[in-house]
Structure 1
Amino acid sequence: MNDDASTDDVQTWDLTPKIIPFLDRHHVLLLLSFLEENRIYDEGDIKLAKYNLLKSSNMIDLLIEIHASIYGDDNIPQEMKEKREKVLQQNEVLQNAAIPLLKLIQDINMVKSLHENKQYTMSYLEEYYSITSAHLSALYDLAKFKYECGDYATAADYLMHFRELSSDPELHLHALWGRLAVYILLQYWDDALVTVNLIRDTIDHTTNTSPLVQLQQRTWLIHWSLFVYFSNLSVCSQCIELFSNDRYYGTIQTTCPYIRRYLAVALIITKKRKTIKDIQKIVEHGWNTYSDPITQFTEALFVQFDFELADQILVQCEKVFEQDYFLYPFKEEFMQSARLSALEIYFKVHNCFVTKKLGMDFETSEEWIASLIRNFKLNAKIDSQAGQVFIGPRPSVYQQLIDRTREWAMRFLMFSGSFDRGKNLKNRERGRETSAKDPVIT
């Protein structure tokens, strides 16, 4: 960012400070690295934030690396070197506590055989392999430790086995959260999406949890799910189903109204977008508790039908995308879908459109509109010289029904006529054959 004005605007729209409290520290590192790469904040401030974030973690090597980048290679504190040794010792202690179970799960063929025979249970393992609940607890602790050290793949594997063997519902949920955390960091998006749905079902169907705890859990799930839903365009539509659900939309209104930015983007870019009336219903309900260019554009277009205002705001939306970790890969998709949405609505209420409103060069906008006219079968023509599109009146639904009925009636008459002509021809041919066989008696 070169000029101070644009930097101030971007920092005003940056949601990182709001989102961070609801993320795991390892996820926060992803956001901080993004801010550092895009120079949205001072590079030194970002490095210091990373350093403070990692001070209480077990990622000692990364902590030392960041410390060296700030203070130099010759100023590594002795306490960091000592902590590194303690982490290695703790790893050995935890592994020793879980050795019987670790040996078993490292034997892939044995685990497969136990699964096939439905013997992979704690009662069976305790009886035949002397594996106790203490070993299972040690495995859980080791998985958490591996995660804190940044060994995400190993942590995911241990948590999978823990969930299969544990019968504690509370620890089951904790293990699910742990697996979601590592799937996000490993970018295993299919597994992450499945885990998001499992956590949602667990939260929604647990009856012995207080409403406050459920509210907190839903808030965390909403934030963590951003990584998953905005990992690629194909799953983005599922964000709409979750965020517009009554329970979760109520959570957004109560604890994190800024999440409406992501709901607005999903409503516009997804190929399975809801109808205009559905979007209006979502946008009108409590939308004024948070505002940024993206939500303002959505409201101006779908609620106010203010095309001039929507056109002005759309320019600002690009800046928001450039500084948002979750949205920046979808900037072009959003801009195209936003223009398409604007044209869809505009075509319904106007009979002339000036192509320069699209913010594209003339050749590109003309080709794009021509494609739109074909796809939507619009009664329209493009005046290339004037740079305008003229849209003729669409026939009413009643008129379309009459025209379609008349068309089918004509087809039926044509078919009937062809059938009758064919039948008469066959009768005449039969008459000739009878005349040839039977001589006329005079």
Structure 2
Amino acid sequence: MAQYDLSKTLIPYLDRHLSFPLLAHLGETGLFPAEEVTVAQYELAKGTNMFDYAKGLFEGIYPGETVPAEFDQKRTNAVSTNERLQQEAQAVLDVIENPDVAQALRQDKNQNLQYLKDNYNLTLDQITALYNFGQFQYSYGNYTGAADYLYHFRVLSTDAELNTSAHWGKLASDILTGRWDVALEELNTLRDAIDTRSAPSLLGSTAAQAQGAVLDPALGQLHSRTWVVHWSLFVYFNHPQGRTLLLETFLSPTYLNTIQTSCPWVLRYLAAAAILSRKAAAGLTTPATPLSPRVRHAIREIVKVIQTEEYQYSDPVTEFLRELYVEFDFERAQKALSEAVDGVLANDFFLGEFKDEFLDCARFLVSEAYVRIHGRVDIENLSERLNLSQEEGEKWIVNLIRESRMGADAKIDLEKNVIDINRPPQPVYQTVIEKTRQLAVRTQALGVAIGRPPQQAQQQQQKPDQAQEVLVN
């Protein structure tokens, strides 16, 4: 099932420290030879200050060979650099941790800098020592310390470029320390910063080096959002409300456009989140917060996107939804579900722990779709569609009817082993409402696009990403 692994696709959009958990997971799944995974870990580790970790990997790859002397030299340089940066950062901390100073600081950063300069001779260059030391702490794996120093730096600094870089470093540190509530707040702050800025340095230092210089502001935003989409997977698949928040974010026009343009493989996680949230949307479970219309109708929107992007990306998770809601082929949907659970989720870094929940929610979708198009349902046949024995299927279907809204419309005939569905016809006006939903918004967007001046339309043709985003909005 290595053909469905996305690690090679995701890692180029991640910081090297965020890539270590994915590689460790690959070593556990056995999808690839252990030697190849270890070599990949070593290639990442030798670019950091985690010398002991890199040394251990080298010894595992090349047993009996002498460890390169460069490791000892780098360690010596790192120790001296750490001492110097710590002294510089501590001089700043001694000032800002003073209770009198903390009480005197205000929301205005420029005012705070002037206060620190007048009273403590502390300049912006000296405050940058917090950033440098936090970045160095991150490079050798002290993520908690890095998060603290980067936070203090961002509170005081007025350097927009370094603040953006500190945002990325703080988010990565919070992810790697498993502080998901804090990471979610940091993620939302970073998204807002990206959406409100058009500077070419949006990616921050690490991402900018990986992607190269981005001169066009719109292209810079697209790249930044692409990175945010990949980094946010760590948060959304670990935070208790993460799947719902993922749908809220990724189904917004801006980020849906980003996914379709730059990273269609993220449709796997978008589809999985919609399936995992379907019971809550149907009222079978009580979510912590009320669900928005975007989440309640998520599957409908995602199926449209899956159809559109099928030429770019497809896997058993997306095929399951397409076969179920587009082709209405229950046999092929059943096959796709089996492959999705055993071949995709079982080995996916983000989805592995949701395997059982995903299967239960997918069975609910199959039952919901099957009952919707049949007036009489054969329990044995439906159980087969759900990959359950007849006895297990009977229990599962009975529980589903009891928990869902079907109870008043469905009656079980145990002698004939069937379910009779007495569904009242949908009113005509309700059908019209469903068909014309958001029609006014789309018509207005098309009207705006058509009514642009010729010169502006030509500029939009030169920037297809911007044009597509305007049309989606």
Normalising by structure 1, report the TM-score: 0.82
Map Cα deviations across residues 373-425 of structure 1 (whole Å, 9 max, x no partner). Answer: 12223433445577x542323123569xxxxxxxxxxxxxxxxxxxxxxxxxx
2:340 aligns with 317
| Superimposed CA distance per residue, residues 285-320 of structure 1 (whole angstroms, 9 cap, x where no aligned partner) | 434421000010011112222212111111100110
Distance 1:108 1:326, change over 3 A: farther
Asked whether the 8 Å contact 2:316–2:337 carries over to 1, the reply is yes
Rate the CA distance shift 1:288–1:238 in 2: closer, same or farther, 3 A. farther
Partner of 2:244: 237
The residue matched to 1:326 in structure 2 has which SS? coil
Q: 1:57: Cα distance to partner?
A: 1.0
User: Which residue does 1:418 correspond to in 2?
Assistant: none
Pair 1:94–1:134, CA change in 2 (3 A)? same
Alpha-carbon contact 1:279-1:302 (below 8 Å) kept: no
5+ residue gaps, structure 1? 1-9, 400-442
Residue 113 of structure 1 aligns with an amino acid whose one-letter code is: Q
Distance 2:102 2:369 in 1: 57
Segment of structure 1 superposing worse, 368-377 or 110-119 = 110-119
Q: In structure 1, give the amino acid aligned to 2:70.
A: E
Counterpart contact for 1:283–1:299, Cα < 8 Å? yes
Counterparts of 2:17 and 2:255 in 1: how far apart (Å)? Answer: 25
CA contact (8 A) 1:125 1:131 kept: yes
Other structure's SS at 2:419 match: strand
- 2:358 aligned with 1:329, yes or no? no
The CA distance in 2 between the partners of 1:179 and 1:390, in whole Å, is 55
Conserved 8 A contact 1:104-1:110: no
Pick aligned residue for 2:77 from 86, 90, 100: 86
2:39 corresponds to: 48
* Corresponding letter in the other structure for 1:268: I
Distance, in Å, in 1 between the alignment partners of 2:415 and 2:317 is 33
Q: Indicate conservation of the 8 Å contact 1:380/1:390, yes or no.
A: yes
Alignment partner of 2:327: what SS? coil
Secondary structure of the equivalent of 1:98? helix
Whichever residue aligns with residue 376 of structure 1, its letter is R
* CA drift at 1:114: 4.2
Measured in 2, the distance between the counterparts of 1:207 and 1:72 equals 50
Larger displacement relative to structure 2 (230-239 or 343-352): 230-239
Q: Using a 3 Å threshold, how does the CA distance of structure 1 residues 244 and 116 change in structure 2: closer, same or farther? A: closer
Q: Does 1:33 align with 2:56?
A: no
Distance 2:250 2:189 in 1: 16
- In structure 1, the partner of 2:56 is 65
Output the amino acid matched with 2:79. Answer: L
One-letter amino acid matched to 1:82: Q
Are residues 113 and 160 of structure 1, via their aligned partners in 2, closer, same or farther at CA, if it must alter by over 3 Å? same
Distance 1:237 1:200 in 2: 17
Query: Which residue identity is paired with 2:256?
Result: Y
Counterparts of 1:56-135 in structure 2 under 5 Å?
A: 56-72=47-63, 75-105=66-96, 107=97, 109=99, 112-115=102-105, 121-135=112-126
Percent sequence identity over aligned pairs = 38
Cα 1:118/1:222, change in 2 over 3 Å: closer
Greater mean alpha carbon deviation, residues 80-89 or residues 107-116? 107-116
Aligned to 1:262: 269
Report the Cα distance in structure 1 between the residues aligned to 2:347 and 2:239, rounded to whole angstroms.
Answer: 18
The CA deviation string for residues 129-164 of structure 1, in whole angstroms up to 9 with x for no partner, is 222212111211111111001111111001111111
Deviates more, 1:70-79 or 1:362-371: 70-79
How far apart in 1 are the matches of 2:106 and 2:158?
20
1:385–1:40 distance in 2 versus 1, CA, 3 Å: farther
1:254-291, Cα deviation, whole Å (9 max, x unpaired): 21111100111011111344335444444334344210
Give the Cα separation in 1 of the matches to 2:127 and 2:58.
Answer: 37
Aligned CA distance change for structure 1 residues 320 and 280 (closer, same or farther; 3 Å): closer
| Structure 2 Cα separation of the partners of residues 110 and 185 of structure 1 | 34
The aligned residue for residue 344 of structure 1 is 368
CA contact (8 A) 2:131 2:149 kept: yes
Counterpart residue number, 2:424: 395
Gap change, CA 1:56 and 1:392, over 3 Å in 2? closer
Gaps of 5+ in 2: 201-216, 282-294, 429-473
CA displacement at 1:172 relative to structure 2: 1.7
Number of aligned residue pairs: give it.
389
Report the AA paired with residue 377 of structure 1: M
Q: Return the alpha-carbon distance in structure 2 between the equivalents of residues 382 and 204 of structure 1.
A: 53
State whether residues 229 and 239 of structure 1, in contact with CA within 8 Å, keep that contact through their aligned partners in structure 2: yes
Q: 1:148 aligns with which of 139, 149, 153?
A: 139
Question: Alpha-carbon deviation of 1:324?
Answer: 0.8
Q: How far apart are 1:345 and its partner, in Å?
A: 1.3
CA-atom RMSD, angstroms? 2.4
Q: Which residue of structure 2 aligns with residue 380 of structure 1?
A: 410
Tell me how far 1:118 sits from its aligned partner: 8.6
Q: Is the 8 A contact 2:85 2:129 kept in 1?
A: yes
Q: 1:181 aligns with which of 172, 195, 198?
A: 172
Report the equivalent of 1:412.
Answer: none
1:138 corresponds to: 129
Question: Using the alignment, how far apart are the partners of 2:327 and 2:48 within structure 1?
Answer: 49
- Contact kept, 8 Å, 2:271 with 2:318, in 1: the verdict is yes
Contact 1:98 1:139 in 2 (8 A): yes
Structure 1 match to 2:235: 228
In structure 2, give the amino acid aligned to 1:23.
Answer: L
Query: Which residue does the alignment assign to 1:407?
Result: none
The farther-off stretch of 13-22 and 246-255 is 246-255
Highest Rg: 1 or 2? Answer: 1
Residue of structure 2 equivalent to 1:369? 397
Which of the numbers 154, 158, 162 marks the counterpart of 1:171? Answer: 162
Q: Secondary structure of the residue that 1:289 maps to in structure 2?
A: coil
Aligned equivalents of 1:305 and 1:11: distance in 2?
28
